[in-house]
Structures are given as C-alpha cells and as structure tokens.
A and B are shown apart, each in its own frame.
Chain A
Amino acid sequence: MAGGDRADGIPQGRPGGEARRDGLELILAQVAKGDHAAFSTVYDQAAPAVLGIVRRVLRDPAQSEEVMQEVLLEIWRTAARFDPSSGSAAAWIMTIAHRRAVDRVRTEQRAAERELRAATASIAYDEVSDAALTSLEHQRVRHCLDGLTDLQRESVTLAYYGGYSYREVAQLLGVAVGTVKTRMRDGLIRLRDCLGVE
C-alpha cells in the first residue's frame, strides 16, 4: 500500500516513523515479560495518542484521563497477547483505546446526554488546541481526510471521533444505512492508501 505515486510533495513516511514503529513492537515484547522500564517507554510513546482519541470520543476531560489510564493498564496486562502478524503495535493500542472509549460512551451515555453531545460536537472538534494541530502527523492526516468525498469524510470522522454507530451516522447525515457502511469502508481505504500504511 505504500503508494509512492503521489505527486503533491507530501512525504509518504514520517521521519523515523517506521523505526519507531518497529521499536514499539520490540518494547511491547519486553513489557510482556514484566519489564517496567519498557512499560514506561510504551506510556511515553502511546499515552498522548490514547488520551487524544479517548478525549475526542468522550469529551469529558476527567473521564478521558481515567479511560486513558485503563487502556494503558490493559496494554500492560495483555502485552503477551499482542500478535505482530495482525498489525503494528500502534494499531493494536489504538484499537483498544478506541474500543474502550466507544464502549464507555455506549454503556454510560443516556439519550439526553447524547443529544447534548451532538449539539456541542462541532465546538469540541476544534478544541484540540495542542501541539497536535501543528504536528506533521496531524497535517498529513488532515491532508488525507481532505482527499475524501464529503460523505466519506463525515462518515469516518463521525464514527471514529464522534463514537457514533453507522446507524446513527446514517440518521445524522440523512442517508441510507447501506450507503454509510460503504462510505466508511471506501473512506478508510482511501485514507489508508493516502497515508501509505499497510
């Protein structure tokens, strides 16, 4: 998938990105053996992204910190179950983080709160004022998101950043459920190819 055929001058790989990723797999193997120093390295590398995605989904800062810590502890607990053949360590960690955040939203959020959240979502979306906004990673993702059709982009971001199910997304966007499903898939595929991940 490392489509090197793009001509817009956006670098395909992050500087040192691949090395860092390989590193995280090795560090995770150390964590699986109970290595606390290795775990602190995993924390340093993964906690900002974990907190970032959890906060986008949950909104509530205190609850997000709590879930971020739970995710990191789950990584500590289950490091031995990480299977490199099913993807990178970063993808494994972010999958756990996102799933946990969405589960929390679905189990705890009452209907009324969800209404409120929908109303404030557009404000909160731009509230991430951190260094993330100016980071190369953020800009690359932004750039690739811009390459999606509107419906693909909205389907992907409402699901991933908003924590909505495809049925909810369909309702929010006023389109058929089947359409949303394929837009989510096609949008992610386009994103994957644009980011040059495999």
Chain B
Amino acid sequence: MRARGSGLHALVGAYVLDAVSEADRASFERHLPTCEQCQQDVRGLREAAARLAEASAVSPRPELRDQTLRAAAMIRQQPPLVVSQKRAFLAGRRWHISQPAGAGARPWLARVALTAAVVLAITASVFGLHLSSMQGRLSAAEQRDAAIATVLGAHDATTLTAKVSTGGRATVVMSHRERALVFIASGLTRLPAAQAYELWLMSPTGVTPAGMLPPARKGMSGPMVVYKLAPGEQLALTVEPATGARHPTSVPVVLVALGS
C-alpha cells in the first residue's frame, strides 16, 4: 500500500506537466484527495509551471481581444458550486481541470461563438447593437446560445433591418441554410401590461406564431430565434394580448420579407 502510494506520489511532476496518460491521470486524481502532501505539492508545482508559461508570453494580435470579449458575451457562465456539490467536488473532483459539463467538452461552441462574434460585431457596428445589453437574455438559455451562434456564424447569414411603424427598429439576422433567424428590436414602444409583441411567420399558405417577445431590457427586445423558415416567408410583428394569440389580431407594426 505504501509502495503504491509513493509510486503515485512520484507521478506528481509528470501530472502537473500534463505528461501523463489518461489512465495515469485518473489514478493520480483518485489518489489525491487522500494525500495531503500530494495536494500541497500539486499546488506549489503548478505555480512553478505557471511561471514557465508566463515566461513565454507573446502579445496576441489586437483584433483577437474584441473577438474574444464579444464571444464571451454570448456564452452562458457556469454557476458556482453550491455547498453540497462543493463537498463532493472537494472530495473527488477539485483537481480536475476539464469538467465534462464545461466548455472543455464543447470547444465547438466556443468556436461557433467566436465566428458569431465577428458577424455580430459587424451587425453591431452597423446597427448600434450592443452585445453587453443582449447578454442578459442570451444567458437565459444555453441551447438558444448555440442556436444564435449557429445562425450568426452561418456562411449565408444576412442581416435585414426595418423601421417599426410605432417606433423602434427591428434587426433580423437570417440563414436560409440553417432555416433559422435571430430577431432583435431596439427602442420599441412600451406596451401596457396586458399587451405584448408577438412574432409571426407569414407565407402564402398561412400564418404561424413564432413566439412572444419578452419585455425589453435596456431598450432591447430579444434576441429571439425563429426556426423552420421556408422560402418566400415574411416575418411580422404585431401587438397582441400578453397571453398571446393564435392568429394576428392587429396590423403588423413591422413586416420583413425574408427572401428565398
């Protein structure tokens, strides 16, 4: 037992240098919670390794900064560990750096978000949108983050903008390839509590509800993702009862032809 423990302890350098196999890493991390000395060594040696990294510092190209910051605004953050989780985490997982639920397992999301950030940066500069003001809504649903990123990052993404007749401006970023669009509006007229804005997809064959706009935050409504676009449809926004309607009950305040 002692021999086994000290054998693992000898691995601490290779472990900190990420020079171990998956199997070695797993057995070392199983050993760690039971070995106070190993934990202390890992802490200290990681500080030393970090200095090796810092000694290699190079300046990133300036444009990467903006791209990264914009991409971050589209990515939902993980919540802190609550106490019961934290105990389990401290017991077993504290030393793991890659977490299965983290971005580590899904680098594609980060990549898509980066692409999207570039597109959105252009959109933002043209239409005066600010990612920071959208971030609150975006973080409400991680899946939607990915959908938005996918649309904004699509090769055929196009941006349309239209004045809203009752005030404000609507912006649509659309990808026919992804058959989806992202809708954002700014400066819409505030509605009484009993009313809300509703989106519709209108085609020659009928009208389909495309979702209720949540109340504006800092003057920004959306983003909303609308899926299953068909060629030749139009996107409409109407004022409806706050509970929503099955068919439009008023004249659209904005109508955007989506093309084909």
Cβ contact of B56, chosen from A1, A34, A52, cutoff 8 A: A52
Cβ contact of A36, chosen from B13, B80, B104, B132, cutoff 8 A: B132
Whether, in the assembled complex, A55 has its beta carbon less than 8 Å from a beta carbon of chain B, the answer is yes
Size bracket of the A interface:
35 or more
Measured between alpha carbons, how far is A136 from B99 in the docked complex, in Å? 35
Interface residues of B in 137-155 (CB under 8 A from A): 139
B11 — which chain A residues lie within 8 A by C-beta?
A: 181, 185
B47 — which chain A residues lie within 8 A by C-beta?
A: 87-88, 90-91, 192, 195, 197-198
Whether, in the assembled complex, B162 has its beta carbon less than 8 Å from a beta carbon of chain A, the answer is no
Whether, in the assembled complex, B257 has its beta carbon less than 8 Å from a beta carbon of chain A, the answer is no
Measured between alpha carbons, how far is A156 from B98 in the docked complex, in Å? 22
Cβ contact of A160, chosen from B17, B94, B107, cutoff 8 A: B17
Q: Which residue among A128, A135, A165 has the maximum number of chain B CB atoms within 10 Å of its CB?
A: A165
Whether, in the assembled complex, B254 has its beta carbon less than 8 Å from a beta carbon of chain A, the answer is no
CB-nearest residue of chain A relative to B114?
Answer: A69
Whether, in the assembled complex, B253 has its beta carbon less than 8 Å from a beta carbon of chain A, the answer is no
Give 1 or 0 for each of A66-106: 1 = CB within 8 Å of chain B CB. 10111011101111110100111011011111111011000
Measured between alpha carbons, how far is A190 from B98 in the docked complex, in Å? 27
Decide if A47 touches B78 in the complex (CB within 8 Å).
no
Number of A-B residue pairs having CB atoms within 8 Å of each other in the complex: 246
Whether, in the assembled complex, B249 has its beta carbon less than 8 Å from a beta carbon of chain A, the answer is no
Give 1 or 0 for each of B83-116: 1 = CB within 8 Å of chain A CB. 0000000000011011100111001001101100
Nearest 6 pairs of A and B residues by beta carbon:
A185-B13, A184-B13, A52-B56, A141-B55, A53-B53, A192-B48
Whether, in the assembled complex, B64 has its beta carbon less than 8 Å from a beta carbon of chain A, the answer is yes
Decide if B64 touches A68 in the complex (CB within 8 Å).
yes
A78 to chain B, nearest CB (A): 5
Measured between alpha carbons, how far is A53 from B52 in the docked complex, in Å? 8
Binds A, one of B38-46, B120-128, B207-215, B233-241: B38-46
Give 1 or 0 for each of B1-38: 1 = CB within 8 Å of chain A CB. 00000000011111011111100000000000000000
What would be 28 A-B contacts, judged by CB atoms less than 8 Å apart?
A: A32-B77, A48-B59, A49-B57, A50-B53, A51-B58, A53-B56, A55-B58, A68-B64, A70-B107, A70-B111, A73-B75, A74-B110, A80-B80, A93-B50, A95-B46, A130-B59, A135-B57, A137-B54, A137-B57, A138-B56, A157-B52, A165-B20, A166-B17, A166-B19, A183-B13, A184-B14, A197-B47, A198-B44
If the complex has contacts A90-B50, A99-B98, A184-B13, are A138 and B55 also in contact, measured as CB distance less than 8 A? Answer: yes
